[in-house]
Amino acid sequence: MSILTRYILKKYLLNFVIVLISLELFFVGIDFLQNFKKLPDSANLQLLYVLYNGFFTLTLALPLSIVFGWIVTLVIFIKNNELVAFNALGSRSKDIYAPVVKISLFLITLLILLQITPLAYSYEQKRKILHNEYFTSTKADIFLKYNDNYVYFKKLLPLEKKAEGIHIYKIKNRDIVQSIIAKNAYFQNNKWYIVDAKIITKPSKMDLETTKLDIRYEKFLNTLEGFKPKILDNVYESKSNFSVLDAVSALVLLSNQGINTDKIRGALYNQVIVSFFVIPILLLVFAYASLNSRFFNVGKFTSLSIFGTLIIWGIFFMLFKFTSGGIILPEISILLPFGLWIVGSLIFYNKKIDS
């Protein structure tokens, strides 16, 4: 690592950390003050609320801090005539912005890795604390398709990995050939184990005089392999988020069942891809910065850079909400605009640098 790279990273990371902490304190503090009277009296739950809210805010604040920290760093470099000194020493434009782009890619990748963990459900957890539901989590009347079966759960308890009031109907040629009824089922070893199941099988050939239903009982019966309680919980909760791993699992399972996966694909694209929208902004901000501080309008540059960043972030956030509402396909509402944004940014960057 060259001396120039170390110097740029030292300045940039300092500004990045200051901006990130400021945004975190602002958003978390405002939210805490707004909801303080609604929070439980328990200090532990209040602390958990702040921690969960802090990580949820991090998913929004970190990408913005990457850009805002770069803007602050560039302004300082320009006002101190450091960019001129860098160029006088023979440094290319790439030598200046490349360290920041690389460290930004690392930070965004780290954020994505954190969303593989249970921290991805921070918003859901803080909402439960706010509504005094942190220690209770149930879903009622869930009806789903799994291969040739239609499954009904009267009550689902995701945290306990338990379901109550189970009815499973096996379908063949649009006809119910078997039904399974049980009071309880438990999720273990990546399968649902039904306890004390009553199995009713209809004969393949119907004869009014001799045909009768076959009724038998099973102590244990397994089904729905790989269908995690958290996936079931989130699929039927319209405002819930997914961790990256759960999103991939749900995508594979529901695709095999022929069930609409627009919401899950949108959540996955938003978590894994959209955060990288800040990388082109770093290049554009650098391209439109001036080497000479004498004719450089700091206020205009800073305002336009921050405003432009918020506009781009707001557009992608709006498109994600459209996708979550089932209005537009995620490939059209997220992937296509993201691709156009990358191409358009490179075009503007090259034109500005060449000029």
Domain with residue 219: its CATH number is: 2.30.30
pLDDT tens digits, residue range 201-210? 877 776 666 5
| 31 and 72 housed in the same domain | yes
The yes-or-no verdict on residue 122 having pLDDT over 90 is no
In 202-346, beta strands by DSSP E: 214-223
User: Tell me, what's the pLDDT at 132?
Assistant: 77
Helix, strand, coil percentages, rounded to 5, for the chain: 60, 20, 25
- The answer to whether residue 238 sits within a structural domain is no
Query: Chain centroid to CA 37: how far?
Result: 29
Residue 87 shares a structural domain with residue 147: no
Residue 158 lies in a domain: yes
Under 8 Å between Cβ of 71 and 302: yes
Q: Are residues 97 and 164 in the same domain?
A: no
Adjacent-strand bridge partners of 252: none
On whether residue 181 sits in a domain, the answer given is: yes
Helices 43-79 and 278-287 pack at an angle, to 10 degrees, of 30
Do residues 10 and 108 both lie within one domain?
yes
Q: How far apart, in whole angstroms, are the C-alpha atoms of residue 234 and residue 137?
A: 12
Give percent of the chain above pLDDT 90. Answer: 28
Alpha-carbon distance 38 to 92, whole Å?
A: 55
The answer to whether residue 334 is domain-embedded is: yes
| pLDDT at residue 234, rounded to an integer | 58
28, HSE (Cβ side, Cα atoms, 13 Å): 24
Q: Which domain holds residue 143?
A: 137-233
Which has more pLDDT, 284 or 132? 284
Nearest to 110 by CA among 29, 53, 51, 55: 55
| 219 and 306 together in one domain | no
- Please answer whether residues 307 and 315 qualify as being in contact, where contact means their C-beta atoms are separated by less than 8 angstroms: no
| Cβ-proximal residues to 286 (8 Å cutoff; 6+ apart), any chain | 70, 74, 93, 96, 97
The pLDDT, as a whole number, for residue 228 is 67
Cβ–Cβ under 8 Å, residues 342 and 280 = yes
Assess if residue 252 is contained within a domain. no
Q: Provide the 8-state DSSP code for 254.
A: H
Amino acid at 11: K
Which of 34, 83, 88, 25 lies closest to 57 in space, CA to CA? 25
Task: Answer whether 241's CB lies under 8 Å from 267's CB.
Answer: yes
pLDDT (tens digit, 9 = 90+) per residue, 291-306? 777 777 888 889 999 9
Quote the pLDDT of residue 104. Answer: 95
Give yes or no for residue 197 having a pLDDT over 70. Answer: yes
Residues 198 and 282 in one domain: no
In the listed set 182, 210, 233, which residue is the last one of a domain according to the structure? 233
pTM for the whole structure: 0.78
Angle at 300 between CA 297 and CA 305, to 5 degrees: 120
Report the pLDDT value the prediction gives residue 160, as an integer from 0 to 100: 73
Q: Where is average pLDDT lowest: 51-60, 249-258, 303-312?
A: 249-258
pLDDT given for residue 227 in this prediction:
67
The verdict on 277 and 220 lying in the same domain is: no
Domain boundary among 233, 263, 288: 233
Let me know if residue 76 belongs to a domain. yes
Query: Which pLDDT value is given to residue 210?
Result: 57
Closest CA to 317 of 353, 266, 352: 266
Instruction: Please say whether the beta carbons of 192 and 222 come within 8 A.
Output: yes
Instruction: Answer yes or no: do 146 and 93 share one domain.
Output: no
Tokens standing for residue 233: 């919980």
Among the residue ranges 4-13, 86-95, 133-142, 262-271, the one predicted with the least confidence is 133-142
The pLDDT value recorded for residue 115 is 87
Strand extents, DSSP E, the chain:
139-146, 149-157, 162-172, 175-188, 191-201, 214-223
Q: For 217-241, what is each residue's pLDDT tens digit?
A: 888 877 777 666 666 655 555 445 6
Overall domain count for the chain: 2
Question: Which pair of tokens denotes residue 216?
Answer: 């038998």
Over residues 141-159, mean pLDDT: 76
**Tokens 């749900």 map to which residue?**
250
- Statement to judge: residues 144 and 59 lie in one domain: no
**Within-domain flag for 323:** yes
131 has pLDDT over 60: yes
Please check the confidence at residue 4 and state whether its pLDDT lies above 90: no
Last residue of a domain, one of 183, 212, 233: 233
* 88 within a domain of the structure (yes/no): yes
Asked whether residue 279 falls in the same domain as residue 346, the answer is: yes
Same domain membership, residue 149 and residue 84:
no
| Per-residue pLDDT at 257 | 65
